[in-house]
Amino acid sequence: MPFLKTREGNDLYYKDWGTGQPVVFCHGWPLNSDSWESQMLHFANNGFRAIAHDRRGHGRSSQPWDGNDMDHYADDLAELMEHLALTNAILFGFSTGGGEVARYIARHGTARVAKAGLICSVTPLMLKTDTNPEGSPIEVFDDMRAASMANRSQLYLDVASGPFFGFNRPGTEPSQGLINSFWSQGVMGGHKNTYDSIKAFSETDFRADLRKFRMPTLIIHGDDDQIVPIQASAIASKWLIPHAELIIYEGAPHGLTDTHKSRVNADMLRFAKS
């Protein structure tokens, strides 16, 4: 199992599959790199080098008490990119990972980056504010924090069996396998780390970060995303990155990398090859 020892002394677990142009996958909350396995396998089978890490505090990586914020997430990603000597890389970020990609580009530039993809991303800002009226009220995230403190294991089951994959919608058939996978990845993460990350993904303002996107950019989002509503995320991101390609999946939930993985894989691969 490959680990990178960061300058802060944390162990960062990562996967490195295949050969070719590097494609780096940044995962969502409270998951880890396993959540990208379908896309990584698809890319590695199609001539790319697929790389994904467990964000600090998640999965098999260290669980530092401090630094559970977007700046540290981006800096860890920069260390991994440097450690692997990646150039001409394609960065894909899902949900919280989209914020990680945006903050990386803002803090570390694009010398190593060829393209970027924001998949169901939390960018540009999830929280409702005077300048972001389409965002979600702070009470939504306060409730998540309270549920995490009360019984985070149950919180992850509730999220996975309900809004994340859209299994709470009429006519859907829940997949116990997907629910189990989400839960197992979530409980692998540190309690403090995943708790702090709620603030990181909901309150970090990425509007200035997205204005620095000059590379080809792909945005994919479901219009029935109950976790990261599309109007305040993908639609707003497209406005800030006018040259980006926006693909909206009708009726798709937040976890569309699993529920719609064949289409997602095809769209992401086409973008990478274009």
Q: Report pLDDT for 77.
A: 98
CATH classification at residue 162: 3.40.50.1820
The answer to whether residues 237 and 209 touch, using CB atoms and an 8 Å cutoff, is no
**H-helix or E-strand spanning residue 101:** helix 96-108
Question: How many distinct helices (H) and strands (E) make up the chain?
Answer: 10, 8
**H-helix or E-strand spanning residue 3:** strand 3-5
The answer to whether residues 152 and 186 touch, using CB atoms and an 8 Å cutoff, is yes
According to DSSP, the residues that pair with 5 across neighbouring strands are 11
pTM of the model: 0.97
| pLDDT digit string, tens, across residues 152-176 | 999 999 999 999 999 999 999 999 9
| pLDDT digit string, tens, across residues 106-123 | 999 999 999 999 999 999
pLDDT mean over 34-44: 98
Question: In which residue are the tokens 């219009």 written?
Answer: 223
The answer to whether residues 200 and 69 touch, using CB atoms and an 8 Å cutoff, is yes
Q: Report pLDDT for 69.
A: 98
pLDDT tier at 1, thresholds 50, 70, 90: confident
Q: Report pLDDT for 153.
A: 98
Closest CA to 189 of 57, 100, 36, 11: 57
pLDDT mean over 204-227: 98
Q: Report pLDDT for 28.
A: 98
pLDDT mean over 205-219: 98
pLDDT tier at 235, thresholds 50, 70, 90: very high
pLDDT mean over 251-261: 98
Q: Report pLDDT for 259.
A: 98
Question: What mean pLDDT, rounded, does the chain reach?
Answer: 98
| pLDDT digit string, tens, across residues 45-97 | 999 999 999 999 999 999 999 999 999 999 999 999 999 999 999 999 999 99
Structural domain count of the chain? 1
The answer to whether residues 91 and 101 touch, using CB atoms and an 8 Å cutoff, is yes
pLDDT tier at 131, thresholds 50, 70, 90: very high
Supply the range of the domain harboring residue 220.
3-273
Question: Which of the residues are catalytic?
Answer: 95, 225, 254
